[in-house]
Amino acid sequence: MAEKSELELLAENLVLEKKNVWDEIGPIDREEIIMLGEEYKRFLDKSKTEREAAAVLSEMASQKGFLPLDSIISRGGLKPGDRFFKVFREKVVIMGIIGKLGLASGLKIIGSHIDSPRLDLKPNPLYEKRELALLKTHYYGGIKKYQWTAMPLALHGTVILRSGEKVCICIGEHKGDPVLTVTDLLPHLSKEQGKRKLFEGIKGEELNILVGSVPLQGDYKERVKLAVLKHLNDAYGLVEEDFSSAELEAVPAGPARDVGLDRGLIGAYGQDDRVCAFASYKALEQLGMPQRTALALFMDKEEIGSMGNTGMQSRVLDMVLEDLSAGLSSTISPVRVLYDSEALSADVSPGIDPSWESVMDDLNSARIGGGICLTKYTGSRGKSEASDANAEFAAKVRRIFNKNRVIWQTGELGKVDAGGGGTIAQFLANLNMEVIDCGIPVLSMHSPFEITSKGDLLMGCRAYRAFWESS
């Protein structure tokens, strides 16, 4: 190899190098990537709603020696090394490992969210028109509505029957299951629809799910609707009024897939933010006894602003902190613990899309395969509603990643004034702690088929583990 020139050596020292995960890893890493990808796809297939993800995460944790927090405390208190989890309203899981320092020096938190954009059924959804039965929906989170038509949908969720009995529904995922769908207009007759603006191409009230077509035989006005109700009653004991106490979510049907001839990418619904949820779970599972107590948050309602009693703006973290204080007989005030705490807001970032480069600042956007992405701030316009991470904390996280050979990059949520958005970072920051966004890049975010890189997933796991292992 030719010797490097003086300027090349100078550049090596001074210029920020953009790395590609696939160039930086060895054969053992490649094997790990494949294994991890397979496990991740299985996780996604079982976790298409926040309730399913919460159940799957707590089940996986139970199998790896994590115990319900309440049961550990009632057996005489917490000690360093204890692995625990706590589920809230079946939609939030907080799990962790007690560190050598207990609550001294605060917590090390990694917070992700397990809700994803989808079509929720309305409280009174079922109707018949033109001898077809349909379900009215109200979309949840930020979607491009036109993307949700003319594709197989599955129905997942929970219904509380009149009797109080709780029924879980999952239609469209198993071999032999029927699927549901939202129809779209044929191009031949779409002259008027074609004049609509893209975001109104399909309107909210047009997101109606086709659910039946065969009438019951006999004399009744809406025989197709009645047939659908009979199906639901036979299978689940459901009557029409039960929709009013249901959370039924239509999501893209079918399993996660490898994407690309080289199988380097994963395509699936709900990777925002279950990819970071999975990566942080894997990191916690592999963690030994940390110095500072490690906490993984798997939150709900991020996609609608972290509102509600299962969102990051609720008091669930306070409740865990109360439990930890009691279990460790700690006298440190919770406010102090939170002030001393450090957090990664583990949420996906937009990867630069070669077909849509114009919305991104090339210098400041994450690349697919470029590793885990540190985002100092999100927000809109002049950083409105952003948590802007302190330089000192960004420096600390950067040092941790460099020391542990984590491939990382920086990103921003698109060009200035191109749009924007937020994560749970601002709500963690409001609790007094240091926090920075740190997540895996995604293409086609919020679409029915989101794309991530298996290489970035591995770096996510390594980054989160390195953060928890650091003092």
**Interface residues toward Mn ion, by CB under 5 A:** 272-273, 347
Q: How far is the CB of 403 from Mn ion (least distance, A)?
A: 28
Q: Which is nearer to Mn ion, 341 or 349 (CB)?
A: 349
Q: How far is the CB of 142 from Mn ion (least distance, A)?
A: 7
Q: Which is nearer to Mn ion, 128 or 272 (CB)?
A: 272
Q: For residues 66 and 159, give the distance between their C-alpha atoms in angstroms, rounded to a whole number.
A: 29
Q: How far is the CB of 439 from Mn ion (least distance, A)?
A: 8
| Angle in degrees, CA 344, 346, 347, rounded to 5 | 140
Buried (b) or exposed (e) across 291-327, using 16+ Cβ within 10 A?
bbbbbbbbbbbbbeebeeebbbbbebbeebbebbbeb
Beta strands 108-113 and 166-171 are: unpaired
CB 145 within 8 A of CB 445: no
Q: Which is nearer to Mn ion, 254 or 439 (CB)?
A: 439
Q: How far is the CB of 110 from Mn ion (least distance, A)?
A: 14
Q: How far is the CB of 28 from Mn ion (least distance, A)?
A: 31
CB 310 within 8 A of CB 89: yes
Q: For residues 171 and 179, give the distance between their C-alpha atoms in angstroms, rounded to a whole number.
A: 7
Q: Which is nearer to Mn ion, 208 or 310 (CB)?
A: 310
Q: How far is the CB of 12 from Mn ion (least distance, A)?
A: 36
Q: How far is the CB of 424 from Mn ion (least distance, A)?
A: 8
Identify the burial level of 256 via C-beta atoms within 10 angstroms of its C-beta, where 0-12 means exposed, 13-18 middle and 19 or more buried.
Answer: buried
CB 383 within 8 A of CB 377: yes
Q: Which is nearer to Mn ion, 293 or 409 (CB)?
A: 409
Query: Residue 420, Cα to own-chain centre: how many angstroms?
Result: 18
Q: Which is nearer to Mn ion, 304 or 319 (CB)?
A: 304
Q: Which is nearer to Mn ion, 80 or 421 (CB)?
A: 421
CB 345 within 8 A of CB 467: no
CB 94 within 8 A of CB 253: no
